[in-house]
Amino acid sequence: MRLSLLVGAALLAGGCASIQKERGHAEVAALVEERLGRKTRWNQGTPEDAEVARHLDALLKEDLTSDHSVEVALLNNPALQATYEDLGVSQADMVQAGLLSNPTLDGSIGFPISGRGVSEHEVSLVQDFVDLFTLPLRKRVAREQFMADTLRVAHEALATAAKVRKAFSEVQALQQLMELRRMALQAAVAAADLSARLRTAGNITELELASEQAAAEGARLELAESELALVEAREHLNRLMGLWGPRTQWTLSEKLPPLPDQEVSLAHLESLAIRQRLDIDAARKQAMLLWNTLELARSARFFGRVEVGVHEHRDADGPRLFGPTLSLELPIFDQRQALIARLEAQHRQGERRLMELSINTRSEVRAARARLLALRMVADRYRRVVLPLREKVVEQSQLQYNAMQIGLFQLLSAKREQVEAYQGYIEAVRDYWMARADLEQLVGGRLREGSEAPTPSPSQPSQHVPPGPPGPPAQPAQPGTPTGHGQDVTHGTESPHEHPHD
């Protein structure tokens, strides 16, 4: 009776842990969608995959947009798909952690050698008892590990999205630059053409003609270079979107968008990064996990192996015996002190890593924002001042040409300088959007244009995580009085990885 109860409880404890295929990915998808507004999918050879393929084809048939290219990559990037498999591994570990160790069945039978007497047998069923006490904590540790993995995978997805956005901007810019190079070539060819006509009329030297022709050939080679650069940029984007075959025939007609009206404030960006960066969250969870592991070790400190079980014994001629067994490890020599010290060190290490990551993140956000502002200034200066001036130079050159004060060569060179200014502008706008993609990656989500408080809700993937996860005090020798992770005990100021919960 007691045996059946015990076995039943053990089966119950282990039974809830079964593998759910979509489990981790659903959380990743939710995290990514919350931050990018785009769905992601883990292809597992299910019938829905065909639907995804159709969706991909539909996306690729139209002119590609930046958002669509991110969507394609999230659905189709093979490296990302490989990363999703990590979730399977992690989930398996989590399920494993929820399983009780198997009971041990011992049996022995003895036969009389002398020919006298009867055979004797003994049967015992033993279950490690400590498992039952530590199981919840172990499960929690494993779950946290799984969550940390989930966050890491989602972080990868965001990183891929940022790469896609940058590659997309590059393709856009190169398409536009190529148009400009074509214009530059056209201008150079016109100048060479005029030179040939002047030479035919006997008005210029062979030297002047050859110089103009050489310049035209230079422009032709520059165009060829930019054509190659465009092919390479397209292939980069193809790799990121995981495309091959006919799917690489996508088109992109959208021009680089103009700059947003205003930038998000620095203070907001930093707190946004700390709040929604998934790798920071993962590091936070990692630290918490180490703390829980440490707790586990501490709570089991004076437990050795405890095995309980039942055994049945029958002698040849004796009575049949049945009763419980208890086997107890005596923690006399090994009280887990080494293990605990190691876990304490690892936990502190985790805390330091979190600190490092937070400080670096803040710094990177500041640097990226400074870069964004500088590029905005450059692009803005081009748009508001340089381009109108270049426009005016061409316009005035044409008037001077009409007044026969300057010739076509000077007029075309004014046009070429205008084209070069446009190139500079397009490059600045492209760099701006790439820097913005970097910044978005650094703050862990999209920046809403000009808005000061656009926040995906904080990055907790599940409700299990308390807002202020317990951590050890500065001195690990004082367990039981955990302070918040965020509290810098010595200074009382906010820690770099702390963020206001608004």
Partner 1 sequence: MPDRDYRPVVVPNGSKLPWKVVDNVKVFHLVAEEVEHEFAPGLKAFCWGYNGRVHGPTIEAVEGDRVRIYVTNRLPAATTVHWHGLLLPSGMDGVGGLSQKSIAPGETFRYEFTLRQASTNMYHSHHDEMTQIGLGMTGMFIIHPRRPVGPRVDRDFVILLHEWRIDVGTERPNPNEMTDFNVLTMNAKAFPGTEPLVVRQGERVRIRLGNLSPQNHHPIHLHGFHFHITETDGGRVPESAQHPEGTVLVPVGSTRVIEFVADVPGDWAMHCHMTHHMMNQMGHEFPNMIGVKPGGLDARVRTLLPGYMTMGQTGMAEMGEMGMPVPPNSIPMLGAQGKHDYITAGGMFTVLKVRARLESYADPGWYDNPPGTLAVAATSDELRRDGIDVNAPALVNPGAPA
Q: Which residues bind partner 1 (CB under 8 A)?
A: 183, 186-187, 189-190, 193-194, 197-198, 200-204, 394, 396, 398-412, 415
Residue 334 or 391: the one with the smaller Cβ distance to partner 1 is 391
CB of 213 to partner 1, least distance (A): 15
CB of 209 to partner 1, least distance (A): 12
The residue type of 276 is: Q
Residue 324 or 407: the one with the smaller Cβ distance to partner 1 is 407
Q: Where are the alpha helices (DSSP H) in 201-265?
A: 206-241
Nearest residue to 158 (alpha-carbon basis) of 415, 439, 408: 439
Residue 187 or 273: the one with the smaller Cβ distance to partner 1 is 187
CB of 392 to partner 1, least distance (A): 12
CB of 459 to partner 1, least distance (A): 53
CB of 164 to partner 1, least distance (A): 36
Identify whether the C-beta of residue 130 lies closer than 8 Å to the C-beta of residue 306. Answer: yes
CB of 73 to partner 1, least distance (A): 38
- Other Cβ atoms less than 10 A from the Cβ of 291: the count is 25
Helix (H) or strand (E) holding 127: strand 120-128
Identify whether the C-beta of residue 132 lies closer than 8 Å to the C-beta of residue 100. Answer: yes
Nearest residue to 159 (alpha-carbon basis) of 62, 47, 298, 32: 32
Dist CA 40 CA 25 (whole Å):
9
CB of 150 to partner 1, least distance (A): 56
Identify whether the C-beta of residue 147 lies closer than 8 Å to the C-beta of residue 461. Answer: yes
Residue 496 Cα to chain centre, angstroms: 21
Torsion angles phi and psi, residue 306, rounded to 5:
-120, 120
Residue 134 or 398: the one with the smaller Cβ distance to partner 1 is 398
Tokens 């656009």 — which residue?
454
CB of 219 to partner 1, least distance (A): 13
Residue 337 or 396: the one with the smaller Cβ distance to partner 1 is 396
Nearest residue to 439 (alpha-carbon basis) of 358, 377, 370: 370
CB of 415 to partner 1, least distance (A): 6
Contacts of 481 (CB under 8 A, 6+ apart): 473
Nearest residue to 286 (alpha-carbon basis) of 138, 85, 137, 471: 471
* SS3 at position 107: strand
Residue 229 or 406: the one with the smaller Cβ distance to partner 1 is 406
DSSP class of residue 247 equals G
CB of 385 to partner 1, least distance (A): 21
CB of 49 to partner 1, least distance (A): 49
Dist CA 274 CA 362 (whole Å):
8
Dist CA 192 CA 204 (whole Å):
12
- The total number of residues written for the chain in this structure: 502
Residue 414 or 429: the one with the smaller Cβ distance to partner 1 is 414
Torsion angles phi and psi, residue 399, rounded to 5:
-65, -40
Dist CA 378 CA 372 (whole Å):
10
Residue 177 or 343: the one with the smaller Cβ distance to partner 1 is 177
Residue 50 or 201: the one with the smaller Cβ distance to partner 1 is 201
Residue 303 or 401: the one with the smaller Cβ distance to partner 1 is 401
Residue 87 or 187: the one with the smaller Cβ distance to partner 1 is 187
Nearest residue to 293 (alpha-carbon basis) of 142, 75, 101: 142
* SS3 at position 466: coil
Dist CA 444 CA 216 (whole Å):
47
The residue type of 282 is: A
Identify whether the C-beta of residue 438 lies closer than 8 Å to the C-beta of residue 162. Answer: yes
CB of 427 to partner 1, least distance (A): 21
Residue 202 or 480: the one with the smaller Cβ distance to partner 1 is 202
